[in-house]
Amino acid sequence: MIQGVIFDLDGVLTDTAVYHYQSWKQIASSFNFELTEKHNEQLKGVSRSESLDHILSWAGIALDPEMKNRLLVEKNGLYLDLIQSLSSRDILPGVTDFLHHLIGQGVKTAVGSSSKNANFILSKIGLMPFFDVVVDGTMVKQTKPDPEVFLLAAASLGLNPESCLVVEDAEAGVEAAKSAGMKVLGISAHGNLIGADHEVQNLIGVDTKYLLSHLN
């Protein structure tokens, strides 16, 4: 039986992808590279430094570690400016009811995110009280698609990986959850998330009782 649900943050609880995109686009334009939405899709779930590595390789640019670090700091500054105004209005549809139902059924809840800004974002949108555990990008050595973030979340909840369900919107995250031996509920507007055990367009009206027993 599923006893714990581990949520990805960006794209599952709130949609910050557009802000990551805007700030990366500005960074990329500083070296005359035009970052497109298609590129951005490939950055979902990927850590900040690996995202920069992808962008530099698409642009065919090699930078020394110091310069890369400056760009990472600059990108995060731009991103933080953009997410200052996040509030509970930015919680994605269906999320709050879904969490209430799970908690009412005695299921433990965690966040497993690649973001180093996860605690800040959760506080801004007011979802912090809904989670027993938050594991973010500051707490792991390897990021998705490595399973470390989800394994640490399960261990912190005191659960075996097999009794956890991960809710994810990115391929790197689905891969991470499957490598951890967990079930995956995929969130995908277009129904094309490879590898998820079950897929929905959003969390509106998702029947938690059915889901937890069905994905056993």
Contact status: 55 vs ligand BG6 (CB under 6 A): no
Instruction: Output 33 or 153, the one with its CB closest to Mg ion.
Output: 153
Closest distance between ligand BG6 and the C-beta of residue 81, in Å? Answer: 13
Is 197 marked active-site?
no
Catalytic residue among 8, 136, 146, 169: 8
Catalytic residue among 10, 136, 146, 169: 10
The partner in contact with residue 46, picked from Mg ion, ligand BG6, none with C-beta cut-offs of 5 to 8 angstroms by kind, is: ligand BG6
Task: Spell out a b/e string for 56-73, using b for 16 or more CB atoms within 10 Å of the CB, else e.
Answer: beebeeeeeeeeeeebee
Rounded to whole angstroms, how far apart are CA atoms 161 and 179?
A: 10
Closest distance between Mg ion and the C-beta of residue 16, in Å? Answer: 9
Contact status: 23 vs ligand BG6 (CB under 6 A): no
Residue span binding ligand BG6 (CB under 6 A) among the ranges 37-45, 53-61, 147-155, 182-190:
37-45
Q: Which of residues 98-117 bind ligand BG6 (CB under 6 A)?
A: 113-117
Contact status: 46 vs ligand BG6 (CB under 6 A): yes
Closest distance between Mg ion and the C-beta of residue 26, in Å? Answer: 21
Is 10 marked active-site?
yes
Contact status: 39 vs ligand BG6 (CB under 6 A): no
Closest distance between ligand BG6 and the C-beta of residue 105, in Å? Answer: 27
Active site residues: 8, 10
